Amino acid sequence: MDNDTRAAGQRALTPGARRLIMGFGARRAVVVIACILVLMVTLLGPASDSQATANLAQAANVGNGVIDVKAQFAAVGDGVTDDTVALQGAIDAATQANQVLMLPPGTYLTSGITITRPITIIGASPTLTTLRAVPGTKAVLTLGDGTVLPSGMEGFTIANIGIDGAGTAGYGIWIRQYGGIRARFEHLLIQNCLGDPGIGIGNEDHAYSMLMSDLTVKNNRIGLRLVRRVQESKIIGSQIYGNTEHQVVLGDGQTQMTKVSIIASQIEPTTNGATGAALLVNGVSNLYLSSVYSEAKTGATGPALEVVPGMTSYIVADGVHMVGNQVAPYAIRLPTDNTNVNLTLVNPIMNGYLNNPPVENLSGPTKRVVWIGTQNQPAMMSVRGGLVVGENGGRLWGNYVGTVEYDPPALAPGATVKTTVSVPGAMKGDMALAGFSGIRDGVYLSAVVSSKDTVTVLFENKSAQTIDLPSGTLKVSTWNYQ
């Protein structure tokens, strides 16, 4: 299915949008009016905007609780006219009067608009209502003025809108410090932010209790970047894919974030040549991942998940499916200084899904598949095709295989012979099994990891006759259960 159709198609009033509307608290009736009006505008055309707004507001007995940026502030929305002044004027009026700002269908060019007071802004849908940057725009939409403790900066809601950076914008949505407290972002399409720094949604510092739901974020340098004291925030039901560097970055390694959840979302480097980890974690305490899917397109050079050494602790990943490819250096990397990493839901490691490099392909020549899981045990590890414990080329955690062509000597009754097989990754204490293609009845095999990366195989003739085995392939498998 086409990603755009699936993620941000013609869904002006989806059940999710209706749930969003019913959750707006004090503005509930007003936003319902706005959405009904959006539907009427879509059906009847822009000429009916003003009268429909007044009629619906009067019918709901809430007064003029909706500001229409076209009817009341002369925004054009034709994709040619710069609507910055009209948009900013409507935002300022709506925040001062505690009203909802409605953006009817259209493409509104802007050099950037700023919100410094709580507001609800709602469009027709992410593909019908678009805020598009003029060349060189720093941020299409800015929340907050960057002051340390701004007054009243809580409770933004932005919904049913597309944001197009037009290839040059630095941010789609720029959340200044304290600008994201109790902010809600729902049913948004954010794309084409490729300027400096090229971020779909990004923040500066201090953002609490943010909810990002039903987002599509694509074709930016970085899809979503949250850093510095983001707390108790959730990303739910979103698709963040096709960004050229990272899809999601959590933390900057300087100030820790806490209690961040990503649930039922796609975080996927679908662009050839995409660099950097799809999900880069660099300073998060209490990160929860559930039902997160990531499949790298052939040519994406970054891993699916990377945790930077330093400040990250307490990660729970439950039901996470991540697929790398042959050019990515590893699928998942969790360095040794991270603590209390709890990864659950895993396909059996012994069945070849995770093998020694090169990885055995589960589906086609370009895939490396990892279902995260350690059966509720703490983990500190890296992954390069399989799971690796430690930095600097530590050991793979899972199943390791070595083979060699071997021609055993003739064995008299009761005689034994030993040979060794190189098995990179094997260590003393691992379980080892051996098989030989030329085996015959009466000859028994046993295997033991005799030293690092080496397995010794014993052939023993337990029959009453001399047995001369033909040459064949000797294969050894080892497992580490730690």
- The verdict on whether omega for the bond into residue 413 sits within 30 degrees of 0, i.e. cis, is no
Give the DSSP letter of residue 411.
B
- Burial group, residue 242, by CB count within 10 angstroms (0-12, 13-18, 19+): buried
Q: What is the pLDDT of residue 130?
A: 98
Give the DSSP letter of residue 46.
G
The reply to whether 407 and 393 lie within a common domain is: no
Final residue in a domain of this structure, among 344, 368, 397: 397
Q: What is the pLDDT of residue 342?
A: 61
Q: Between the CA of residue 159 and those of 19, 53, 141, 386, what are the distances in Å?
A: 12, 19, 13, 41
Going by DSSP bridges, is the β-strand pair 443-451/454-461 parallel, antiparallel, or unpaired? Answer: antiparallel
Which residues of 165-256 form beta strands (DSSP E)? Answer: 171-175, 184-191, 199-203, 207-208, 211-218, 222-226, 230-236, 239-241, 246-250
Q: What is the pLDDT of residue 144?
A: 86
Q: What is the pLDDT of residue 480?
A: 64
The reply to whether 409 and 388 lie within a common domain is: no
- Burial group, residue 375, by CB count within 10 angstroms (0-12, 13-18, 19+): exposed
The reply to whether 329 and 424 lie within a common domain is: no
C-alpha 193/C-alpha 219 separation (Å) is 7
Q: What is the pLDDT of residue 451?
A: 92
Final residue in a domain of this structure, among 359, 376, 397: 397
Q: What is the pLDDT of residue 330?
A: 61
Helix (H, G, I), strand (E, B) or coil at 92: helix
The reply to whether 361 and 473 lie within a common domain is: no
Query: Which neighbouring-strand residues pair with 341?
Result: 315, 379
The reply to whether 426 and 342 lie within a common domain is: no
Question: Taking the model in full, what pTM does it have?
Answer: 0.65
The reply to whether 346 and 428 lie within a common domain is: no
Q: What is the pLDDT of residue 26?
A: 41
The reply to whether 473 and 368 lie within a common domain is: no
Q: Which residues of 463-476 are buried (b: 16+ CB within 10 A; e: fewer)?
A: eeeebebeeeebbb
Count up the domains in the chain and report the number. 2
Final residue in a domain of this structure, among 364, 397, 430: 397
Q: What is the pLDDT of residue 179?
A: 84
The reply to whether 251 and 217 lie within a common domain is: yes
Residue in 242, 244, 224, 243 with CA at minimum distance from that of residue 234: 224
C-alpha 428/C-alpha 448 separation (Å) is 8
Each residue's pLDDT expressed in tens, for the chain with a length of 482 residues: 444 433 333 333 344 444 444 444 444 444 444 444 444 444 444 444 344 334 433 333 333 589 999 999 999 999 999 999 999 999 999 999 989 999 999 999 999 999 988 899 999 999 999 999 999 999 999 998 877 665 557 888 999 999 999 999 999 999 998 888 899 999 999 999 999 999 999 998 888 899 999 999 999 999 999 998 899 999 999 999 999 999 999 999 888 899 999 999 999 887 767 788 889 999 898 999 888 887 666 667 777 788 887 788 788 777 777 665 556 656 666 654 545 666 554 332 222 223 323 233 333 333 333 333 333 333 333 333 333 333 333 344 456 889 999 999 999 999 999 999 999 878 887 888 899 999 999 999 999 999 988 999 999 999 999 999 999 999 998 876 44
What is the residue range of 443's domain?
402-479
Going by DSSP bridges, is the β-strand pair 257-268/230-236 parallel, antiparallel, or unpaired? Answer: parallel
Q: What is the pLDDT of residue 394?
A: 38
Please say whether the beta carbons of 238 and 268 come within 8 A: no
The reply to whether 358 and 468 lie within a common domain is: no
Specify the CATH number for the domain of residue 64: 2.160.20
The reply to whether 139 and 278 lie within a common domain is: yes
Q: What is the pLDDT of residue 195?
A: 94
The reply to whether 323 and 462 lie within a common domain is: no
């994406």: which residue's tokens? 300
The reply to whether 311 and 381 lie within a common domain is: yes
